Structure 1
Amino acid sequence: MKNKYTPTALALYFNYFVHGMGVIILSQNAAALAKQWGTSQTAALAVVSALGIGRIINLLISGVLSDKFGRKPFVQLGIVTYFIFFIGILLSPNTVIAYILGILAGMANSFLDTGTYPGLMEIYPNSKGTSNVVLKAFISAGQFLLPFIVSGLAAAHMWYGWSFIIPAAILVITFLYFLFGGAFPDSNEVTKEDEEKAKKAEEQANNNIASNVWIDGTLFIIYGYISQATFYLVSQMLTQYGQQVGGMAQASAHSLVSWYSLGSICCVLLTAVLGKKISEIQFVPVYTLGAFVSILLMWLFPTNAALMIILAFLVGFFAAGGVMQLALTVMAEFFPAGKGTVTGFFYTAGSIASFTIPLFIGWIGNMKNVMFLDVIIALIGFIDTLLIAIRYKKLFGKLSK
């Protein structure tokens, strides 16, 4: 049957297309913004760190409140806050104001996360993993398109601000949609249905095991950190690793990022196709094992240029192709009564990783050793998801759909 909430889902997806642009828009316009603020490009780029601060500030509380008041208010709040960021940056006179606006952008992302991920799981209860993984595709599309917009504006000698106006205009459209309609399923009713399904699955498994907030919650929060750290490490240092350790030419080293991104997109498409037949819990340990093996081989054989290209694709496929979203979906199965809350906890752990990993990179320094750190982190991630799969089988009595 046709899902009456599909237009709402499309609006949610376009919000994340804009979010994909928002993540990189400051770095893409660093030179123009530095001139606007009367500072260096390095100082302008420092504003990017404000996004991480904003995410941590309100993720947990907005997740809890999303469960209490529903998904729509937080999606709307996220849209408005992101709009203020895009327009505010164009009007900001200095880096202080820009940094405050960057914090708002991080908060906007948190509002969207805690309204959108639970909302999509409730719109598509039989395809929760697929619906959340598709968000990753829209984020990647926004990140892919924005550099072409920025370079096109520069080539045409047009105002750089149009790269901010375009995503802001999309947000106006989605906000109007939610203002004059944009219905969501009743989250309380969906929660009751999910709890009944979980209880029935436990009874069919013939055991007395129930999800444990300390055991299962800790495993998922650890993976929230690990999954973000795994692909963040690679994405931030892939070009440098190719040049400094692999001895690759600059152009070839930069191409590794393109292959990495292509792998991510291919994984999203494959997961979306297979998601209706294969349970999310079956994907997660396989993808984390693939990430570990790929990163290990990248550390062992950095000077083989052809192999590095293949491995960059595979790391993007396994580590950045939506496994984080799949794991969140599985976590929501363990704790069906608090989808917004678990989203808040899970992504807070990821935000902490975004803060701490750059510190580790700076402290270690040597790119070969940094890659080895990623090997260790990826291995921990595989062990963690294997334990989650074991707990899932004990709780629900099966791994397949």
Structure 2
Amino acid sequence: MKNQYFKAASGMYINYFLLGMVNIILASNMPSLTEQWDTDSTGISYLIAAIGIGRLLTYGLSGVLSDKFGRKPLIMVSSVIMGVFLIGIPFSPTYEMAFVFALLAGISNSAMDAGTYPALTEMFPESAGSASVMVKAFGSLGATILPFIILFLTTNQLFYGFAFLVPAVIYFMNMFLVLSASFPRKSEAVSKEEVLHSNRFITEPKFWSEGVALIIIGFTSTALFTVSQIWLPSFGQEVAGMQSSSAIKLLSYYSVGSLISVLLLSILLNKWIKPVTVILLYPMITLLTVIIILTIHSPIVLSFSSFFLGASTAGIFQLTIAIMTELFWRKKGTVTGIVATASSLASVILPIATGLIAKSGDISHIFLFDCFIATIGILAAAFVYYRYKKLTQHQTIFDHG
């Protein structure tokens, strides 16, 4: 990493470390929250959905604002809004007020994405894939640590809200780190991109071909991730005959696979492999793994398969954005917002669609549906791979440059 932008990159990665906690914080504190607002687990699931709705409604606008006003202002605003959400939830006297705070968390998330991903690709244009994938790694790390914080608070009979207030304080402190950090000036970023673009591409990319294919991958990558996280434990219990405690562990194997995968990618993408190869290879591994799960109903096989599902669904969304901003660099914030909107649509639609499939009585049908989504992702990625090869003067699979 260039020392010039080390402070800014550190600040952005800290934000995503905390966001990893935020993504599971409501579900992880369900007993305390249901008691606080006199609701049930369904009520908390609606709050989680509200975060997704907040993201979905504002990604497009956040992307445009990022291109218009720059990356730093959006990242600063996102930190403040997320801090407000984290303070607001434990002190919300009513469920309705908590719902508003959940919407704010979604708005913050969209602003954070629209500022961070373009900023990272501008700071590290030669290793944009690695820089983007590290976002996922820090998020996974945060999600791994939060349960231990909650366990500590519960064991010591401390106020559950400290799990919210500590990340809130770090968000506000981190905001000052980002404020004092240097970001690429717009003119400087544009001139660098023009040189890189002219050296890399033979012809101009087309938004209505490879751009649309990448938007589809933005949807399918999140869809595959969402299905696995929601339904693996249920599949383990109902189809493989696992005990509830063993079935829950499948998500731990999934998370370990995810974390190892993004750490490996952050190393490999610098020198040996290109993002367009990964977005094609990974859904193929996902499809093969799901077929094995559907064919062999063994707890041991399912445990190994969960690891490979975690590994093969990790980082695809981040790499899709990295490719999108590389191809359509003049509107990085806008195209980030479009891909992220597709991703948010998947996070809202898939829980509903798979829930309806589950009502039919056979949970295996959900993973058959997963195979269908993976196939669409593979076809879209194959098209992007082919087009990238036509557009670029370098080799597609291995980058020795």
* TM-score, structure 1 normalization: 0.95
Find out whether 1:199 has 2:198 as its counterpart.
yes
AA aligned opposite 2:366: V
**Which ranges of structure 1 fall in alignment gaps of 5 or more residues?**
204-208
AA aligned opposite 2:35: K
Q: Secondary structure at the match of 1:241?
A: helix
Distance apart, 1:324 and its partner CA: 1.5
Find out whether 1:373 has 2:369 as its counterpart.
yes
Alignment of structure 1 residues 329-348 onto 2, 5 Å: 329-348=322-341
In the other structure, the counterpart of 2:303 is: 309
In the other structure, the counterpart of 1:190 is: 189
Q: Secondary structure at the match of 2:125?
A: coil
In 1, Cα distance between equivalents of 2:26 and 2:133: 25
2:320 to 327, 330, 337: 327
In the other structure, the counterpart of 1:158 is: 158
Write out per-residue CA displacement over residues 190-231 of structure 1, whole angstroms, 9 at most, x where no aligned residue. Answer: 23322332223334xxxxx42111112210111111000011
In the other structure, the counterpart of 1:281 is: 276
AA aligned opposite 1:388: V
Q: Secondary structure at the match of 1:228?
A: helix
- Is the Cα–Cα contact under 8 Å of residues 17 and 138 in structure 1 kept in the other structure? yes
1:295 to 290, 314, 323: 290
1:354 to 347, 350, 361: 347
In 2, Cα distance between equivalents of 1:130 and 1:285: 17
Distance apart, 1:176 and its partner CA: 1.6
In 2, Cα distance between equivalents of 1:359 and 1:305: 27
In the other structure, the counterpart of 2:21 is: 21
In 2, Cα distance between equivalents of 1:384 and 1:165: 42
Bigger shift: residues 349-358 or 182-191: 182-191
In 2, Cα distance between equivalents of 1:145 and 1:69: 34
- Is the Cα–Cα contact under 8 Å of residues 7 and 177 in structure 2 kept in the other structure? no
Distance apart, 1:73 and its partner CA: 0.4
AA aligned opposite 2:247: A
Identity across the alignment (%): 36
* Paired residues, number: 393
Distance apart, 1:156 and its partner CA: 0.7
- Is the Cα–Cα contact under 8 Å of residues 54 and 106 in structure 2 kept in the other structure? yes
In 2, Cα distance between equivalents of 1:101 and 1:120: 28
Find out whether 1:47 has 2:47 as its counterpart.
yes
- Is the Cα–Cα contact under 8 Å of residues 232 and 251 in structure 2 kept in the other structure? yes
In 2, Cα distance between equivalents of 1:313 and 1:41: 28
AA aligned opposite 1:16: Y
In 2, Cα distance between equivalents of 1:144 and 1:296: 28
User: Do the aligned partners of residues 252 and 193 (structure 1) sit closer, same or farther apart at CA in structure 2, a change above 3 Å counting?
Assistant: same
Distance apart, 1:154 and its partner CA: 0.8
Write out per-residue CA displacement over residues 299-333 of structure 1, whole angstroms, 9 at most, x where no aligned residue. Answer: 222x11211111110010011x2122112111112
User: Do the aligned partners of residues 113 and 308 (structure 1) sit closer, same or farther apart at CA in structure 2, a change above 3 Å counting?
Assistant: same
In the other structure, the counterpart of 1:141 is: 141
* TM-score, structure 2 normalization: 0.95
In the other structure, the counterpart of 2:382 is: 386
Q: Secondary structure at the match of 1:159?
A: coil
In 2, Cα distance between equivalents of 1:164 and 1:272: 30
AA aligned opposite 2:222: Q
Write out per-residue CA displacement over residues 348-388 of structure 1, whole angstroms, 9 at most, x where no aligned residue. Answer: 00000011111211221121000100011111111110110
Distance apart, 1:2 and its partner CA: 4.3
Write out per-residue CA displacement over residues 131-180 of structure 1, whole angstroms, 9 at most, x where no aligned residue. Answer: 1111111111111111111121111111101101110111011112233x
In the other structure, the counterpart of 1:262 is: 256
User: Do the aligned partners of residues 188 and 290 (structure 1) sit closer, same or farther apart at CA in structure 2, a change above 3 Å counting?
Assistant: farther
In 2, Cα distance between equivalents of 1:188 and 1:376: 44
Distance apart, 1:94 and its partner CA: 1.1
Find out whether 1:229 has 2:223 as its counterpart.
yes
Write out the 4+ residue segments of structure 1 that deviate beyond 3 Å after TM superposition: none
Distance apart, 1:41 and its partner CA: 3.6
AA aligned opposite 1:192: S
AA aligned opposite 1:281: V
Q: Secondary structure at the match of 1:246?
A: coil
In the other structure, the counterpart of 1:206 is: none
In 1, Cα distance between equivalents of 2:344 and 2:384: 21
Q: Secondary structure at the match of 1:306?
A: helix
Q: Secondary structure at the match of 1:51?
A: helix
- Is the Cα–Cα contact under 8 Å of residues 226 and 351 in structure 2 kept in the other structure? no
Distance apart, 1:246 and its partner CA: 1.3
